[in-house]
Structure 1
Amino acid sequence: MFGTRRAGIRAAAITVPLVAALLGGAAAPAGAHSAKPAKGLSCRGVGVDPAAQIRYRTEVVVNAPLDVVWKLQTDVDRWPSWQRAVSSAERLDHGRFRAGSAFHWTTPIPPEVGIPATGLDITSTVRQVKDRSCIRWTGPADGEGLHIDGVHVWNFTKVRGGVRVSTEETHTGPQVDANVPLATGILRAGLDAWLGDLKAAAEARAPR
């Protein structure tokens, strides 16, 4: 994709912070997540993009009731209150969180990137959902010089002492496809950070 090695390095330097901002940026707390399991996730029989080169799956056990975890994850308007990388979030429909629900959210781009854009705009649409069990959403993320098409699956399973939250995501797009190992590593860091924030927020709200 890049004409010279120098051009490739410059493009990667721009892409890395952008994708990191999109995916969560900050590292998860030590011990917050498990190693990547092998089997892919699904919701109502549908999983992530099977053709995507960039994919990652991970999970965490949250020591909180399922109702608390589910409420945090599906109350999109309140994401900025517990997700460090989400600067705004808005449901585009009303009522229960359901197939067809859509939401628009933004995340800042670090100022050291040195480009005019100040954030990424993401519009996600829920494709499949099973109450307190699973969610699958898709949607584009756009910023200056970056476009990603993402597919994200979440599973929620009761376990002793809490909930196992499992998540898997795939990305496609010309910028991220240009360096699959790098983009996959960034995706890994972002998902681990999301789970770390979800775990911390849910456990803080759990009944004592």
Structure 2
Amino acid sequence: MDADEAGIDESAPVVSRHSVTVAASADTVWRILTDIDTWTTWLPEIPYARIETPGPLASGSVFRWSAAGMEIESTFVQVWPQERLVWRGYGGGPDGVLGVHVWALTPAGDGVEVSTEESFAGPPVDADPATFQAGLDTTLAMWLRRLKTTAEAATAS
């Protein structure tokens, strides 16, 4: 990772990494990932997601969403179009779960390799890291499957 790249907290009690090859362009995958307001259409476990900052997505843009029963406010810390997207935010407020999430897109043949990694820290995670680890592993793998299906369907149509 370059010195100017933001990343997950490698020392957090919970870290998860997953990847998948998607038969779609980086542009298609990027458009799906960054259209926060439509996450609920392809991620049904997210009942609410809305970008709060007007204008183009950029470092400092804020979005609010809910997942796993938590209300989350996240801020983008890195936006490299069609390459890398990093956000961090708290679920359940500043004494809740601090998540740092990275999406990376790398050309792969006729498609793109999509990698995602996330770290969880905070008092709730410290109290039950095994449950948070299992939940995060399941969630990230599911999100990648759904992203692959959504992007490949968009490419086929």
What TM-score do you get using the length of structure 1 for normalisation?
0.70
What is the aligned partner in structure 2 of residue 140 from structure 1? Answer: 90
Give the match's secondary structure for 1:206: helix
- 1:100 alignment partner, one of 60, 67, 87: 60
What is the aligned partner in structure 1 of residue 29 from structure 2? Answer: 69
Give the match's secondary structure for 1:52: coil
What is the aligned partner in structure 1 of residue 144 from structure 2? Answer: 195
Give the structure with the higher percent strand.
Answer: 2
Give unpaired runs (5+ residues) of structure 1: 1-40, 110-118
What is the aligned partner in structure 2 of residue 159 from structure 1? Answer: 108
Q: Could you list the per-position Cα deviations for residues 36-81 of structure 1 after superposition, in whole angstroms to 9, with x for gaps in the alignment?
A: xxxxx77942211132111011101111111110000001011111
Contact 1:84 1:197 in 2 (8 A): no
- 1:171 alignment partner, one of 101, 120, 124: 120
The alignment-based identity, stated in percent, is 37
Q: Could you list the per-position Cα deviations for residues 111-135 of structure 1 after superposition, in whole angstroms to 9, with x for gaps in the alignment?
A: xxxxxxxx32111100112111001
Q: In 2, Cα distance between the equivalents of 1:179 and 1:103? A: 27
User: Structure 1's 199 and 130: CA in aligned 2 closer, same or farther, altered over 3 A?
Assistant: same
Give unpaired runs (5+ residues) of structure 2: none
Q: In 2, Cα distance between the equivalents of 1:190 and 1:152? A: 12
Q: In 2, Cα distance between the equivalents of 1:182 and 1:132? A: 33
Report the number of matched residues.
Answer: 156
Describe how 1:3-22 pairs up with structure 2 within 5 A: none
Give the match's secondary structure for 2:60: coil
- 2:6 alignment partner, one of 36, 46, 49: 46
Bigger radius of gyration: 1
Q: In 2, Cα distance between the equivalents of 1:201 and 1:44? A: 31
The AA in structure 2 aligned to 1:179 is: D
Q: Could you list the per-position Cα deviations for residues 9-34 of structure 1 after superposition, in whole angstroms to 9, with x for gaps in the alignment?
A: xxxxxxxxxxxxxxxxxxxxxxxxxx
1:195, distance to aligned residue in structure 2 (A): 0.7
Give the match's secondary structure for 2:92: strand
In angstroms, what is the RMSD of aligned CA positions? 2.0
Contact 1:138 1:151 in 2 (8 A): yes
The AA in structure 1 aligned to 2:77 is: R
